[in-house]
Amino acid sequence: MTDITKTDVLIVGAGPVGLFAVFELGLFDMKCHLIDILDRPGGQCAELYPEKPIYDIPGWPSISAQGLVDKLLEQIAPFKPDFTYNRMVSSLEKLEDGSFRVTTDENEVFEAKVVVIAAGGGSFQPKRPPIPGIEPYEGKSVFYSVRRMEDFRGHDLVIVGGGDSALDWTLNLQPVARSVTLVHRRPEFRAAPDSVNKMYAMQEMKQLDFQVGQVTGLTGADGQLSSAVIKGPDGDVEVPCTRMLPFFGLTMKLGPIAEWGLNLHENLIPVDTEKFQTSVPGIFAVGDINWYPGKLKLILSGFHEVALMAQAAKRIISPGERIVFQYTTSSTSLQKKLGVVD
Amino acid sequence: MTKLTFIAHDGTQFDMDAENGSTVMENAIRNAVPGIEAECGGACACATCHVYVDEAWTAQVGEPEAMEEDMLDFAYDVQPNSRLSCQIKVRDALDGLVVRVPARQG
């Protein structure tokens, strides 16, 4: 029997809105567990534009996206939320007692009375590279991440990309693979200069090959690659290739949420504007992933949504209990929860 | 007002008046030009507003900066005249600019 992690509220997505939900729920003594597909909190703010300033957060004339995430983490720290990173929520089912069972893509099981979907534009997934006819090879000889280095032993490996993932795996798999060809469309790299220098040094020693160009074709059969065609400045080159690792960044996909029976509206989850509840009572959707008339995809709108959602969540978790509306400026009990008074 | 023309992948032409200071991408979104997705909303963080600048205009439009080049690595079928349209600011010198939308964004 798999261990089941129990919590009051399970939050899918640890972007700014998911993080602030912990605060509003925490004020009502609800314990939160967040699951995110990235390896750290912050969602798009951390992944897409950490250094970009945001100008429409009330009270902050300008704050970097990562700065906002850091401040939110500081703000929710008193509520000690739990985080599970690098996981996608794959299924969600309603149990007989009205609570929900949530399973991740690594088969961890969570149970919560309330589920809050704060999944933004969906889950970040590796972007399929612009190589025609790549689909039949995916998962068989084309991989988007390295789970075990041994899987590449003795193979003719082609790595495509110019960022840190591409360069790091070029260096790390070179001793394991039979041959390594790195393909990037230009001789400048986004990766750390130190890795790039190491790669060039290994190329000098003929330990690997670096080709400037774009992969335009693949040959092979039954999902097994045999070669790749690289279109470079001097025309096409065919290189032996039995394993390929393309690193073309991440894109957002709605993913399994589409299967949860939430009556999607153009890939968004319709909610009411009183509780931000979905068509399934007990499941809420907040932030960029929800839809209602007049919806604006703004972080500040998400913050408003979680405040109202928390009231409704409290009624589910503590039925019959009177909910007292209080201000953090004057309520001693809220201040105790925040750890600012004894 | 500066005139802009987008040519969609199927050949449909979209002519529009653009405000100076706006980005070429914003005008595509405002005029619902198909094939410009602009997933990140103009932060130079996604490469889904990729366009080919008409050969007659490449010198006027100029070269991408390093950050944009980095992002272009993620685009589909990058050519020497490839740009991210969120990084091209509309200005008088670009009056009449023509850009083409690629077959797909990433």
Asked if A231 is an interface residue toward chain B (Cβ–Cβ < 8 A), one would say no
Phi-psi region of A236 (alpha: psi -120 to 50; beta: other; left: phi over 0): beta
**A272, A105 contact by CB (below 8 A):** no
- Please compute the mean of the pLDDT values over residues A270-289 and round it to a whole number: 97
Query: Residue A48: what pLDDT?
Result: 78
d(CA A32, CA A246): 36
End-to-end CA distance of chain A: 42
- Among B105, B99, B76, CA closest to B24: B99
Query: Residue A50: what pLDDT?
Result: 85
Beta-carbon contacts below 8 Å between A and B: 45
Query: Residue A186: what pLDDT?
Result: 92
pLDDT per position as a tens digit, A98-116: 999 999 999 999 999 999 9
Give chain B positions within 8 Å (CB) of A191.
none
Query: Residue A17: what pLDDT?
Result: 98
Superfamily for A4-125+251-337?
FAD/NAD(P)-binding domain (3.50.50.60)
- Among A67, A110, A134, CA closest to B106: A134
Query: Residue A255: what pLDDT?
Result: 86
Confidence of residue A132 (pLDDT cuts 50, 70, 90): confident
Give chain A positions within 8 Å (CB) of B74.
127, 248-249
**Is it the case that residue A1 has pLDDT exceeding 60?**
no
| Per-domain boundaries in chain A | 4-125+251-337, 128-248
Per cent of chain A over pLDDT 70 is 99
Query: Residue A254: what pLDDT?
Result: 86
Query: Residue B77: what pLDDT?
Result: 83
CA closest to A121 among chain B residues: B39
CA closest to A51 among chain B residues: B43
> A326-334: long-range contacts at Cβ-Cβ below 8 A with a sequence spacing of 24 or more?
A326/A27, A328/A27, A334/A27
d(CA A52, nearest CA chain B) in Å: 8
CB contact under 8 A, B40 and A49: yes
Confidence of residue A58 (pLDDT cuts 50, 70, 90): very high
Query: Residue A168: what pLDDT?
Result: 93
Query: Residue A261: what pLDDT?
Result: 86
Tell me which residues of chain A, numbers 120 to 149, contact chain B at a CB-CB cutoff of 8 Å.
121, 127-128, 130
CA closest to A188 among chain B residues: B70
d(CA B36, nearest CA chain A) in Å: 15
* Range in A57-61, A68-72, A252-256, A291-295 with the lowest mean pLDDT: A252-256
pLDDT per position as a tens digit, A178-199: 999 999 999 999 899 999 999 9
Confidence of residue A306 (pLDDT cuts 50, 70, 90): very high
The predicted complex's ipTM stands at 0.74
Of the candidate CATH numbers 3.40.50.620, 3.30.1330.20, 3.50.50.60, 3.20.20.450, the domain formed by A128-248 belongs to 3.50.50.60
| Per-domain boundaries in chain B | 2-100
Q: DSSP 3-state assignment of A169?
A: helix
d(CA B96, nearest CA chain A) in Å: 30
- What pTM, to 2 d.p., does this model score? 0.76
Distances (CA, A) of A330 to A74, A97, B59, B64: 21, 37, 62, 53
DSSP 8-state code for residue A86: S
Write the residue in A48, A127, A185 that is nearest to B43 by C-beta.
A48
Superfamily for B2-100?
Beta-grasp domain (3.10.20.30)
pLDDT per position as a tens digit, A65-99: 999 999 999 999 999 999 999 999 999 999 999 99
Query: Residue B41: what pLDDT?
Result: 78
pLDDT per position as a tens digit, A203-225: 999 999 999 999 999 999 999 99
Measure the CA angle with vertex A222, ends A216 and A228; round to 5°: 25
Asked if A253 is an interface residue toward chain B (Cβ–Cβ < 8 A), one would say no
d(CA A324, CA A328): 12
d(CA A173, CA A219): 22
pLDDT per position as a tens digit, B5-17: 999 999 999 999 9
Full pLDDT tens readout for chain B, 106 residues: 899 999 999 999 999 999 999 999 999 999 999 999 888 778 777 789 999 999 999 999 999 998 899 889 888 888 999 999 999 999 999 999 999 999 988 7
Looking from the CA of A231 toward its CB, the CA atoms found within 13 Å total: 11
A313 burial type by CB count under 10 A (0-12 exposed, 13-18 middle, 19+ buried): buried
Looking from the CA of A106 toward its CB, the CA atoms found within 13 Å total: 10
Name residue A197's amino acid.
Answer: N
Query: Residue A267: what pLDDT?
Result: 85
- Among A285, A297, A229, A224, CA closest to A257: A285
Write the residue in B39, B46, B73 that is nearest to A185 by C-beta.
B73
